[in-house]
Amino acid sequence: MQPSQPTRKICERIAAVRFESLDSSTIYKVKEAIRDGLAVSIAGCKQRPVTILAEYVRGIGATPVVTVWGHGFKTSPASAALVNAASAHVLDYEPMSSPSTHAVSPVLPTVIALAEAEGRGGRDIVTACAKGFEMQHRLLHAAAETARAQRRFHPPGMVGVMGSAVAAGHLLDLDTKQLRNALGIAASRAGALLANAGTMTKCTHTGNAAAAGLEAALLAKCGFDANENILEHAQGYVAAFMGGDTFDYARLLDFGNPFRIVDPGMAFKFFPSKYPTQFAITAALELHARIGDPSRITRVSITTPLMADVDRPKPQSGLEGKFSFQYGAAVALLDGKVRIDSFSDARRFRPDMEELLSKIQVTQSKEIPLDFRKMHVSLSVETKDGTRHVAECRTPKGFWGVSIKPEEHREKLRDCMSQLMTDAQIEECVRLTNQLEDLDAGGVKQLVKLMSGH
């Protein structure tokens, strides 16, 4: 049953959340996600799609207010959020929420942009991110499973813009009425097409969400209006994107009780590719250790859930390989490791890769659940001597509810940051993010300077 004025009620709940109301577990988990998001952004900022976006934004020209990470120039807050959020998503390496979306990349660049522009400290960054992440988590949690399964849009394009608007609203001190308008404006900017997975355009799904949500909050602050009942309106957001009558408003209004970044938490990726491929890669790495010389392989069989968009036998680029069960398994079997450069065009088109891809067959089974938290992927590899090696993965490293070993996460962070920073700069960046809630505006500026690449 739909409660009275749910848009007003959720905005009242959001506005009431302050840093002091966050418990220690929430603060820890939000900081963990921020660290991961910043590291992945640093690794992604020099990828070709992002450099094209950065040069496009530089060419437009704008008052230099906010830093474009890794490119050494400043632009408007929204334009910086566009590029920086694309950096955060281009490698497909950021954490995954449950139900699944990329909640960090549409929110973190918005928050850092406004913190830099408004001179805010670390407590505001943590609180704004907590709110922005939670808004996305709650919207998807409130949508019926059938509605999520039938979605026509990439989730960051649907919920990311709403999370960005909520996060920006905290830093702009929006009251309940302004926040309702910000959500109304943001809702008219929602949407991103799944057909663009495997192309440069996919990284703009989070970029556009970050920029549009930030602009929505700025416009609301200036008095720009929208439908203040955008969630429940018959032609509003829930009807368009979240399954309409099946939407559970009680789950949405349970905002922060507890924050879903704590329970069920986020899954952290240790390979820079679409989440289902993490299962195939993990199983393939196990088999690589057993098989040894990959030239001995004669046949590879992969059994997966019904995920047509991840069944890509011959990806047309290294980038598209991020969305291929076949490619992820092949690079793991061949190299025994999967890193950022594993998805380069140079690696994709080497003769050993071409040969192994021709030996791989994927079977998709309707008996395997589609839910990432319940699914599994199995691999069977036959070798020239007739031996059959089998491995199955149900919980990749970093899986929901499974604690990350600090040393393993630090290894990922350092690998990502080393794409742009010296060892000394990495140490300083880690130090600043570890004590983020204690940073004043000057400390935040110091962190942003490290992110600038200059």
Question: Rounded mean pLDDT of the chain?
Answer: 96
Average pLDDT of the residues in 70-77: 96
Task: Dig out the tokens for 302 from the structure.
Answer: 């992969």
Omega of the bond leading into 156 within 30 degrees of 0 (cis): no
Classify the C-alpha dihedral 314-317-321-323 as positive or negative.
negative
Average pLDDT of the residues in 337-362: 97
pLDDT at residue 149 tops 80: no
pLDDT in tens, 411-435: 999 999 999 999 999 999 999 999 9
pLDDT at residue 150 tops 80: no
Note the pTM of the prediction, 2 decimals: 0.95
pLDDT at residue 260 tops 70: yes
Pairwise CA distance, residues 139 & 253, whole Å: 10
pLDDT of residue 18: 98
> Cα separations (Å) of 68 from 149, 174, 308, 440, 447?
36, 25, 36, 21, 13
Nearest to 307, CA basis, from 266, 368, 390, 360: 368
Counting Cβ atoms within 10 Å, is residue 151 exposed (0-12), middle (13-18) or buried (19+)?
Answer: middle
How wide is the angle at C-alpha 143 spanned by C-alphas 142 and 147, nearest 5°? 170
> Cα separations (Å) of 125 from 11, 111, 121, 255?
19, 6, 7, 19
Backbone angles phi, psi at 54, to 5 degrees: -60, -45
* Domains observed in the chain: 6-270+418-452 (1.10.4100.10), 275-393 (3.30.1330.120)
pLDDT of residue 1: 67
Average pLDDT of the residues in 280-291: 97
pLDDT in tens, 379-413: 999 999 999 999 999 999 999 988 888 899 999 99
pLDDT of residue 172: 98
How wide is the angle at C-alpha 207 spanned by C-alphas 46 and 314, nearest 5°? 65
